[in-house]
Amino acid sequence: MKPLDELKARLLEVDDINGAAALLRWDQTTFMPPGGSPARGRQTATLSRLAHEKFTDAAVGRLLDQLERETAALPPGHDDAALVRVTRRLYEQSVRIPGALVSEFNEHAATIYQAWTVARPANDFATMRPLLEKTLELSRRQANCFPGYDSIADPLIDLYDYGMKAASVQALFTALRARLVPIVRAITSRAPADGACLEQYAPADQQLAFGLEVIRAYGFDFERGRQDLTHHPFMTKFSLGDIRITTRVRENDLTDALFSTLHECGHALYEQGIRTEFEGTPLAGGTSSGIHESQSRLWENLVGRSRGFWEHFYPRLQGAFPSQLGKVELDTFYRAINKVERSLIRVDADEVTYNLHVMLRFDLELDLLEGRLAVKDLARVWRERFEADFGIPVPDDRNGVLQDVHWYSGPIGGVFQGYTLGNVMSAQFHDAAVAAHPGIPAQITKGEFGTLRGWLRENLYQHGMKITAAEAIRGATGSDMSIEPYMNYLWRKYQPLYGLEERERTALGVS
Ligand code: ZN
């Protein structure tokens, strides 16, 4: 067999095992009865170990050595050259992390997650403390598999947002924070929006049916995907022909399920848009957490929370919920779904305050990893920092340090920056698409999304992991990552919503 074919055959086996493990995890959070839990944890751990062993086999390293020589003359954009380059990067990451550490982390993650599901409702941080100390220790050990870093967070960030470092994230956050804090202050000094029209009973089935209607219009391919219910919505992939999204429903909240569906659909459109020739190789995936999140946020917020989108869909939503919304004006509804307020829970936060939640988490993680903060002080420091940033007290740990599943199911470090990078880049991709096709906003008011999706597929989705995040943003938008489009987007949208005055524009740092 030729070396390239042998590499592809080996990668396909790894991909098969990973796909099977993903299916087991999806089932665990959707349909599995509780009694399946112990065996399921063991089964996914076994598959993960097998995939790790196969991928880190010395033979893969030898094939890469040989193929690097053979593909050296190819242009970097050649598929084979990209496959060898990306596989080499992932291989070097994987061989540095010992299988025993992977297993120990997986086992610990199952334990701490189980404990958190009990501790959060009980508001009991004390029992989480030793477990979280273990998470911190394991996260540090994982980072230390990659010596030569500037910050111990760097190797963890690199796993999710290749090319970024703690220092580059901090520089971006500092610039963004300086502009977001005044805009939050200006908005919250105005009369708050009234969200009462959303807080009405709405049957789950009708909510779900409406969400499916919208993502069908977005172009979600139901021949290659489906949606099911879960507690903490996510997207997962078994192959390029089978991309799953999940959502949750709150029957006293009219749009919670919808926006969760639109968010996960954005992740799915990215994956469904990848070239099918990449199937079974590492190229068949999103290129970074930040780029992935830019697509979920684009379809959820820049499209799904826009005035134009609702010009088309609001009469339909009113038709689905006539007793709840029949007498509610479009403008009242539009204000309600774009209500800005200082709130406790990150995942429920609006577009303007959301990034401040991320910055708090990122900074606390960095302090933990770099040894400036001990887990025993974490709950207290959280409360102090939150009150300083948001101006509201944290009533209990349930709404503070215990609020979401991060830290209680995965590492400390590496994950949070992706959310804000995604918000920032979502506006850049959207602006570039509209610059290329100025008719997109008018199409959205008619419920047509093909031009936008087509542009994104052509310029971003199809490439998968073949291009890095930095290459993706430069290739699609013509410039490097910048906060300007995002700040301009926030101004354009929230200036009329909250009656911000033109004279405030420069004070808020919007050009
Ligand atoms: Zn997401």
Beta-bridged to residue 225, according to DSSP, are 243
Cβ–Cβ < 8 Å for 334, 310: yes
Ligand 1 centre from 457 Cα, in Å?
18
Mean per-residue pLDDT for 252-257? 96
Is pLDDT of 111 > 90?
Answer: no
Q: Please state, as a whole number, how many other Cβ atoms lie within 10 Å of the Cβ of residue 289.
A: 23
Max CA separation in the chain (angstroms)? 70
Ligand 1 centre from 109 Cα, in Å?
20
Give the integer Cα–Cα distance in Å for 58 and 362: 36
pLDDT 10s digits, 294-310? 999 999 999 999 999 99
Q: What is the pLDDT of residue 508?
A: 67
- Distances in Å between the alpha carbon of 37 and those of 21, 41, 43, 354, 424? 14, 6, 10, 34, 38
Ligand 1 centre from 263 Cα, in Å?
6
pLDDT 10s digits, 340-381? 999 999 988 999 999 999 999 999 999 999 999 999 999 999
Torsion of CA 170, 171, 176, 177, to 10 degrees: 60
pTM: 0.96
User: What are the chain's domains?
Assistant: 3-148 (no CATH), 166-507 (1.10.1370.30)
Cβ–Cβ < 8 Å for 247, 264: yes
pLDDT 10s digits, 404-463? 889 998 999 999 999 999 999 999 999 999 999 999 999 999 999 999 999 999 999 999
Ligand 1 centre from 413 Cα, in Å?
17
Mean per-residue pLDDT for 11-36? 95
Q: ∠106-107-111 over CA atoms, to 5°?
A: 115
Ligand 1 centre from 154 Cα, in Å?
22
Is pLDDT of 248 > 90?
Answer: yes
Beta-bridged to residue 235, according to DSSP, are 245
Q: Directed axis angle between helix 354-369 and helix 128-143, to 10°?
A: 80
- Distances in Å between the alpha carbon of 437 and those of 328, 368, 441, 444? 33, 46, 9, 12
Cβ–Cβ < 8 Å for 456, 436: no
Q: Which two tokens stand for residue 457?
A: 């597929």
Ligand 1 centre from 56 Cα, in Å?
29
Ligand 1 centre from 295 Cα, in Å?
8
Ligand 1 centre from 289 Cα, in Å?
8
Main-chain phi, psi angles of 244, to 5 degrees: -105, 140
Q: What is the pLDDT of residue 100?
A: 87
Q: What's the distance, CA 322 to chain centroid? A: 34
Identify the band that residue 41 occupies on the pLDDT scale cut at 50, 70 and 90.
Answer: confident
Q: Give per-residue burial for 410-445: e unless 16+ CB within 10 Å, then b.
A: bbbbbbbbbbbbbbbbbbbbbbbbbeeeeebbebbe
Q: What is the pLDDT of residue 507?
A: 67
Identify the band that residue 99 occupies on the pLDDT scale cut at 50, 70 and 90.
Answer: confident
Q: What is the pLDDT of residue 113?
A: 87
pLDDT 10s digits, 378-390? 999 999 999 999 9
Identify the band that residue 198 occupies on the pLDDT scale cut at 50, 70 and 90.
Answer: very high
Give the integer Cα–Cα distance in Å for 86 and 8: 13
Ligand 1 centre from 250 Cα, in Å?
19
Mean per-residue pLDDT for 48-52? 92
Q: How many residues does the chain have?
A: 511
Give the integer Cα–Cα distance in Å for 373 and 384: 13
Ligand 1 centre from 440 Cα, in Å?
24
Ligand 1 centre from 344 Cα, in Å?
19
Ligand 1 centre from 285 Cα, in Å?
15
Give the integer Cα–Cα distance in Å for 79 and 67: 13
Ligand 1 centre from 264 Cα, in Å?
6
Among 68, 137, 223, 264, the active-site one is 264
Q: What is the pLDDT of residue 253?
A: 96
329 catalytic residue (yes or no): no
